Chain A
Amino acid sequence: MANLVGAKIERKEDKKFLTGKGRYTADINLPKQTYAYFVRSPHARAKITKLDHSKAMKAPGVIDVFTGDCVAKDKIGGLICGWKIVSQDGKDMKCPPHPVLAKDSVNFVGDHVAVVVAETLEQAKNAAELVNVSYKVQRAVTRTDEATKFENIHEGIDNNLSFDFLLGDKGKTDEAFSKADKIVKLDVVNNRLIPNAMEPRAAIGDYNTSSDELTLYTASQNPHLDRLIMSAFNAVHPEHKFRIVSPDVGGGFGSKINVYAEDVVVAYASKKIGRPVKWVAERSESFMSDNHGRDHVTHAELAVNNEGKITGIKVDTIANLGAYSLVLAAVTPTYLYAPLLLGIYDIPTACCTVKGVYTNTAPTDAYRGAGRPEATYVIERIVTEAAKEIGMDQAEFRKKNFIQKFPHQQCLVHNIDSGDYNAHLDKAIELADYKNFENRRSQSAKKGKLRGIGFSTYFEACGVAPSAVVMSIGSGVGLWESAEVRFNATGNVSVFTGAHSHGQSHDTTFAQIVGDKLGVAIENIDIVHGDTDKGPFGMGTYGSRSLAVGGTAIVNACDKIIAKGKKVAAKMLEGKPEDIDFKAGEFILKNSNKKKTIGEIAFACYLPGTFGDVNSPLPEGVEPGLIETSFFDPSNFSFPSGSHICEVEVDEETGETKLVKYTVVDDFGTVINPLIVEGQVYGGVAQGVGQALYENAHYDESGQLTSASYMDYTMPRADNFPQMTLDYTCTPATSNPLGAKGCGEAGTIAAPAAVMNAVIDAVGTDVQMPATAEKVWKALKKNGSKKAAA
């Protein structure tokens, strides 16, 4: 059998999606189903002075209305922050109560106030209009940079400060700065984004009054984790009687990690009324109440000596948590952010502070890349400015400061196991034809366009993550992953993974791994995920972890299958287990022509009475069946890296920026399926380009979200991109047997800096993201352009 790993294999999951047979949560309809519609706060900050739902209760078709009082009375717990961090004064971060339905106050537009459950969606919507809520509106704080100066929005949380985090050595860094030949300073804004998975969130609670079993169908990236949280913290239902199914999920990008109020409420409501309760988000609800991402205001300084070596970095960031602290809200702008500020440079000392602030905006949390795009943007912008200020070529300046030897212990957190940064930068420079860029700049100038080039040489820490490490810095759970491989009696294989695919193509990638390991055709391998009733507890998919962690668990479970198979084969072939080789699906007795296929071994394991005419093929002490489980806890993060080179053309008259050339060379370690990996990179880059040029979640001063539809929030479209150029280098990861590093977030991490460096190169002056035509035009005018239209 040809090697499956490394092959461009078309996806196993495609046919169902291409023929309209995908089964997303909104596609599920259950007998006696009812519909939920949420009453949401129209105000960013207000006290609820009265809530009267008596009229709604009497409306046609209404079955029940639930409010904050109901869930409080039934002791339904609030939503949690799952990873708590400690401030530099040693105190725990401060988290306000976050009830699933507001009781006394609302804190962002879209905050959940009540839910109406009715026979039809139309009836639920109509009745929701009749829920009479009186609000005492208060002044809202929305601006990240002003949050600490505003009155407290949550009782007991002074200056709206959740935490004041510090990482690094302040004394040593100050000293480096005092000795620096040059200090480069930069202020950057990491604009607030809305993840916008194309499938809006949806949830159906289905309580079985006979068996006392509760099933929740929900569009989640991590159903087991949801069940754990909803059992342990929200007290919705005991874990052993609670099943969560996340069927086909239409994109996540971090926005489907959290347990949301709607999940808890439909599950609770189903128990209360004894019927299924279905809720599907309208897009405007997604805009308002999905977790948002980014939203940092940062001041950074880089110390450089006359030889062009970086001697230290200082970064101070204010991170907007929004109204509450969600599951990964605190770790995203701290441990996922600060260590990455070093980039791939050998920087001897660093100091980073992050103030996490509450505002009257939708809560923020992980969004594709989670902390790493924000950090990469800071370091790749300031490195570019530094090269400019000291008059060095930006590629040369980067190379001069690259980490050269591995493993490399960075001065903050990470111990990078492998990499070759010169290799991917050299390859990218070649592919991007960097040496002829100035010619292209001149050509563009002849057309009246300003052409710019931007670099982003990034790394990221993914494959999350060693449990002992993450739990020592506040994670509520370990971040191992599980797999169960069931070799069936008839020769096919069911693989249960704790990872969850919502576009990542696990059905294919994991089948390629198992196919190679066990010598089984991929059409005979089924990858099962997304149902807590099937397979062991798993942690889910985020942080580019599925292959490095989940894939490794699958490899280890396959190894256990092979080890057991060898024992059985030894007995059947009349040899010793240590004399059995396993290759391409066959157990072979060394120095003989005696062999058994893995299918024969599996058959014998399940039907031990059928072997020969005397004895069982199972050696003494070996149990029947051929099912193995593995839980893999990685020893380290994995560290993909790469070089992105972007070219843009800016229309000097209008300020419109066009992406004209984009080159990527990544080092993801071992690549299982290049077709799928390319797709991940393309999509990731598109999201990064979106942040740089188009996307911006905007709240006005009163806290109204003015970008709450696709008419107002600019999503990247097909006509925004040129064909990109992609290639790879490879230094395998040493922290897992696959050598895989992870590829899901890399594009989004690297792209904003590459694009903005190009825009700023073209414009000749600073521009903040997103570089809309208006902003660029203003920058051009300010910079004295005569061509910029009046």
Chain B
Amino acid sequence: MAVINITVNGIKISKEIADNTILSDFLRDDLALTGTHIGCDTSQCGACVVHLNGNSIKSCTALVADCDRSEITTIEGLATNGKLHPMQEAFKKNHGLQCGFCTPGMVMSAVDLLKKNKNPSEQEIRDWLEGNICRCTGYQGIVAAVKDAASKM
């Protein structure tokens, strides 16, 4: 057990946790931030993607202990004062989601892409999202959403 200090969606948290606590479990079980989803056991599906100090990571393979003194943003922290982030707006406008399960990870990945590449080509979008699996959309609405968001951000 160790005390970790971590900022999640702008809120400072100091908490004693077991050393083997996984970030996705911590977010879901300890903080009730259930928007971060767990879709596989092998760090393949990307439903659990959050931002660690502004970079997208798969939270199912991160130890909370390694995130000490870090800033985490989850899907719940993306909208500000009830206003959707442009990426969230773009997913809505372009029907980039159906069942919604992969969506939080997909949106968090896409937001990070545009931080790193403001105007990605379609192929760059598709390559970047290769680590996020969606079973519903065939990725068409998702890619359209990312392009749309890029044009507005």
Contacts and interface: CB of A to CB of B under 8 A. Distances in A.
Interface of A: 10-11, 13-24, 26-27, 196-200, 248-251, 253, 282-284, 502-505, 675-676, 678-679, 682-687, 709-711, 715-719, 721, 723-724, 747
Given A250-B100, A683-B135, A710-B44, 7 more contacts: A17-B103, A18-B97, A19-B79, A198-B37, A678-B141, A718-B130, A718-B142
Interface residues of B, number: 53
Contacts of B42: 283, 709-711
Which A-B residue pairs are the 3 nearest by beta carbons? A20-B35, A17-B100, A250-B101
10 contacts: A14-B97, A19-B88, A24-B37, A27-B34, A199-B37, A284-B41, A679-B98, A679-B136, A684-B138, A723-B122
Contacts of A719: 123, 126-127, 129-130
B104 A20 contact: yes
B97 A19 contact: no
B95 interface: yes
A282 B41 contact: yes
A719 B124 CA distance: 9
Interface string B119-135: 00011011101101111
Contacts of A199: 37, 39, 99, 101
Contacts of B103: 17-18, 22
A220 to B, nearest CB: 13
B100 A13 contact: yes
Nearest to B97: A17
A10 B130 contact: no
Contact of A198 (B45, B75, B78): B45
Contacts of B67: none
Contact of B138 (A21, A197, A284, A721): A721
Interface string B141-153: 1110000000000
B74 A20 contact: yes
Contacts of A683: 98, 135-138
B3 interface: no
A660 B41 CA distance: 32
B141 A679 contact: yes
B133 A14 contact: no
A30 to B, nearest CB: 13
Contacts of A682: 137-141
A283 B39 contact: yes
B93 interface: yes
A18 B76 CA distance: 9
Contacts of A20: 33-36, 74-76, 104
Contacts of A249: 99
B71 to A, nearest CB: 17
Contacts of A21: 35, 76
Given A22-B100, A503-B100, A679-B95, A198 B140 contact: no
Contacts of A13: 100
Given A283-B40, A283-B41, A718-B130, A18 B88 contact: yes
Interface in B77-105: 78-79, 84, 88, 91-93, 95, 97-104
Nearest to A252: B99
Interface of B: 28, 33-42, 44-45, 47, 74-76, 78-79, 84, 88, 91-93, 95, 97-104, 107, 122-123, 125-127, 129-130, 132-143
B139 A718 contact: yes
B130 A709 contact: no
B121 to A, nearest CB: 12
A505 B136 CA distance: 12
A253 B100 contact: no
Nearest to B100: A17
Given A20-B34, A20-B104, A718-B125, A197 B41 contact: no
B113 to A, nearest CB: 11
A717 B104 CA distance: 17
Contact of B137 (A18, A284, A679): A679
A715 B131 CA distance: 11
Contacts of B37: 24, 26, 198-199, 250
Nearest to B134: A198
A204 to B, nearest CB: 14
Contact of A253 (B35, B78, B135): B135
Most chain B beta-carbon neighbours within 10 Å: one of A20, A682, A684? A20
B133 A19 contact: no
Given A718-B143, A721-B126, A251 B99 contact: yes
Contacts of A747: 138
Nearest to B28: A27
A64 B98 CA distance: 39
A721 B140 contact: yes
B132 A718 contact: yes
Nearest to B18: A122
Contacts of B132: 718
Contacts of B34: 20, 23-24, 26-27
Contacts of B47: 198
Nearest to A250: B101
B140 A19 contact: no
Given A710-B40, A721-B139, A675 B100 contact: no
B41 A11 contact: no
Most chain A beta-carbon neighbours within 10 Å: one of B88, B135, B138? B138
Contacts of A251: 98-99, 101, 135-136
Nearest to A679: B95
A747 B135 CA distance: 13
Nearest to A712: B42
A504 B35 CA distance: 20
Nearest to B124: A719
A199 to B, nearest CB: 4
B135 A196 contact: yes
A18 B84 contact: yes
Nearest to A680: B98
A250 B137 CA distance: 12
Most chain B beta-carbon neighbours within 10 Å: one of A26, A504, A679, A716? A679
Contacts of A198: 37, 39, 45, 47, 99, 101-102, 133-136
Contacts of A10: 92-93, 95
Nearest to B93: A10
A19 B91 CA distance: 11
Nearest to A687: B135
Nearest to B33: A20
B122 to A, nearest CB: 7
Contacts of A17: 97, 100, 103-104
